[in-house]
Amino acid sequence: MQEVDKKVTELAPPKYTLNAEQERKEILRHYSALLRGLRPKLKRGDKELVRTAFEMAAEAHKTMRRKSGEPYILHPLAVAKICTEEIGLGVRSSICALLHDTVEDTDVTLEDVEREFGSEIARIVDGLTKISNVIDTSTSKQADNFKKILLTLTDDPRVILIKLADRLHNMRTMDFMKPEKQLKISSETVWVYAPLAHRMGLYAIKTELEDLSMKYMEPDAYKDIAKKLAETKRERTRYINEFIRPLKEKLDVSGFNFEIYGRPKSIHSIWNKIKKKTVAFEEVYDLFAIRIILDSVPEKEKEECWKVYSIITDEYNPSPERLRDWLSNPKSNGYEALHTTVMGPQGRWVEVQIRTKRMNEIAEKGLAAHYKYKEGSNDEDRFDKWFGQIREVISSQDTDSVDFLQDFKTSFLAEEIYVYTPKGDVKMLPVNSTALDFAFSIHSAIGSKCIGAKVNHKLVPISHKLRSGDQIEIITSNKQKPTEDWLNQVVTAKAKSKIKDALKEAKRSVAEEGKYIIQKKLEGLGAAYNQANIEELVQYFKLNSSLDFFYDVAVKKIDLKELKEFTIHGDKLEAPKPLKLPEIKEFDPKPSYGKKESELIIFGESSDKVMYALAKCCNPIPGDDVFGFVSTGKGLIIHRTNCPNATQMMANYGHRVVRTKWAKNKEISFLTGLRIIGMDDVGVVSKITQVISSDMKINIAALTIESEEGLFEGTIKVFVHDKDELDELVVRLKALKGIEMVDRFDTEV
């Protein structure tokens, strides 16, 4: 972590140093820039309103500073500018952005805002204040905060757009924060805010949020890819020009009014490709995409996009699997475009995106542009339907916030597929949806009675995963009822919510029997059947609610003989005191051959040495960037910052994250795993073991090699002292003749 801290600080700008007069000029410069951006949207009286909002915010925040030392008012000004220039919002939203922190952080009240600017602006500021109220409090989970965000989202989408602008500016200016805070905020951003920006159609903002999160969560990989992108820029530009030249000529001849250019893919998306396909940077073929933007009249947009597609595929051969037609079926966030991947010069695949100017504005500015083009139309479009679905799910949600957030992500923030009803109506569903999800999307009564489906006229089970273009007919039976495993067979929040409701209802009717049994039992013991005694029993049997307790009594999961151990004072029950158990020793992370009992780590600012356990999901070793997570009942668990579960944990339980670094200790070994792929050859195993055991004196815990048709794939579990030793081993193995790939994987200890 200390290393991360150092690396990230290298990216930080110099500390803020301006005197009072320079500061005043700086603030006015930012304010003037905001007004310039708003100029085309200003109506009569608007300029005065913006000035009043600016003065109110400047006065309220005048004694406040940001972590960098700069005056706090620069933050609301920057958020308002992002709202105007990057999201395309108007005057009212800019006023709300200027005031977004005043009610929460200063003496300004909501009544002051309403008196000055009216109820609409006061309502949005109230929504933004409700969102911020629980952020960074160690007692409350971040997930509760997100739930509040989503509740305000359905009241007025501008709340969420301003919140996204606020988050973007915070991410752009996070260099002066402590590393653990950077990690927590980055995780939260990549877990919820980036997918939310994507869902609101703000692709540029989504991409920047992901890249900025990666800058703090994976600083080495981020800098490495950024450096390689910079180094290959000239060669890439040359290739793009070569690719574009014949297309440009043909488009000119055809009389199109167009722009054509190449743009690099984001660092985060390149990193995802490298991880997903386990390839090196040099092997990622789509480092850029070609974009063609047409100036078309609305009634000819589709026709002209397909004509351009035809011109491109005449010049270059397309990959049939990589055609994405979002013209016929736009995404529910309004995104329309035609994407194809073609074989370009030098045998390289190139992605080409075809859009019109209107489509491009919706892709860049999302929701705000979408509503601009929709003005005057009364049709309920996909965006409205999406909000309607969210409202429906939120209104029936009483689940734990973390579950709610997970359901929301898979249901509303995932990529989409489109499927058809038997009558040919289109339904948009999240990717990985099943026939059961489809049934619930039609009606909860149909979902509850679903016993199977016909997909493209073939009979399939309810768990069958749907693909874009499928036509589905649901088969129902009045005898069918939802069961517990249905929850594992659906991804949409609506289906999960309705199944939970049905299960709860079924549980309630069984629990009635348990209620009756307990009532009789307590009366027999001479204790009262009341809330206090029931709560005592619920706590004693470690259950979540009285409903669970009554249910477990009814199904005989609880042995009521234990009630004999209780004492009764008057009519009050008192649980027996638990026996004091002997102290259990902490987890021992597999020391090699009886050396020291446990490696030590240092955490916090106090440099205390503490006991810990290693997370089995990512098996950290000394030298990895790590964080400590205070787990209930298990103490401090150490995870790698790039652990598959890290983002979710830091986003949902940021207050439990502890800054952690390794202590120097070369006496202990840690188990880790390597995956090796290469050409099958005589003696390949002995070459590998020679490097590991003889040359580097590293102990092997397990070795598996499988070969097929001239290729072999092996997994090796080894005990290493730290990451440096592991890195050296990887370099030596890669140097062996015939070895194609050596990659670390997370072992199960």
Q: Which residues participate in catalysis according to the annotation?
A: 104-105
Q: Which two tokens stand for residue 411?
A: 């249901």
Q: What is the dihedral of CA 340, 204, 419, 373, to 10 degrees?
A: -100
Q: Based on DSSP, count helices (H) and strands (E) in the chain, helices before strands.
A: 29, 23
Please state, in angstroms and rounded to a whole number, the distance separating the CA atoms of residues 165 and 35: 17
Angle subtended at Cα 269 by Cα 279 and Cα 390, rounded to the nearest 5 degrees: 135
Residues β-bridged to residue 742 = 676
Helix (H) or strand (E) holding 588: none
Strands (E), 397-502: 416-420, 426-430, 450-455, 458-460, 472-476
Please state, in angstroms and rounded to a whole number, the distance separating the CA atoms of residues 435 and 440: 9
Q: Which amino acid is at 56?
A: M
Cβ–Cβ < 8 Å for 719, 669: yes
Helix (H, G, I), strand (E, B), or coil: what is residue 271? helix
Q: How far is CA 741 from CA 202, 730, 744, in A?
A: 37, 9, 10
Please state, in angstroms and rounded to a whole number, the distance separating the CA atoms of residues 749 and 746: 9
Residue 36: CB atoms within 10 A of its CB come to 12
Please state, in angstroms and rounded to a whole number, the distance separating the CA atoms of residues 414 and 208: 18
Please state, in angstroms and rounded to a whole number, the distance separating the CA atoms of residues 435 and 466: 7
Question: How would you classify the pairing of strands 635-640 and 613-614?
Answer: parallel
Please state, in angstroms and rounded to a whole number, the distance separating the CA atoms of residues 731 and 22: 53
Q: Which amino acid is at 30?
A: H
Helix (H, G, I), strand (E, B), or coil: what is residue 557? coil
Residues β-bridged to residue 658 = 628
C-alpha Rg value of the chain to the nearest Å: 30
Q: DSSP assignment of 187-252, as one string? A: HHIIIIIHHHHHHTT-HHHHHHHHHHHHHHHSHHHHHHHHHHHHHTHHHHHHHHHHHHHHHHHHHH
**85 contact partners, CB below 8 Å, separation of at least 6:** 37
Question: How would you classify the pairing of strands 349-356 and 288-294?
Answer: parallel
Cβ–Cβ < 8 Å for 246, 311: no
Please state, in angstroms and rounded to a whole number, the distance separating the CA atoms of residues 738 and 749: 30
Helix (H, G, I), strand (E, B), or coil: what is residue 173? coil
**337 contact partners, CB below 8 Å, separation of at least 6:** 324, 326, 327, 353, 354, 355, 359, 363
Cβ–Cβ < 8 Å for 312, 247: yes
Cβ–Cβ < 8 Å for 458, 471: no
Cβ–Cβ < 8 Å for 654, 592: no
**247 contact partners, CB below 8 Å, separation of at least 6:** 260, 292, 311, 312, 315
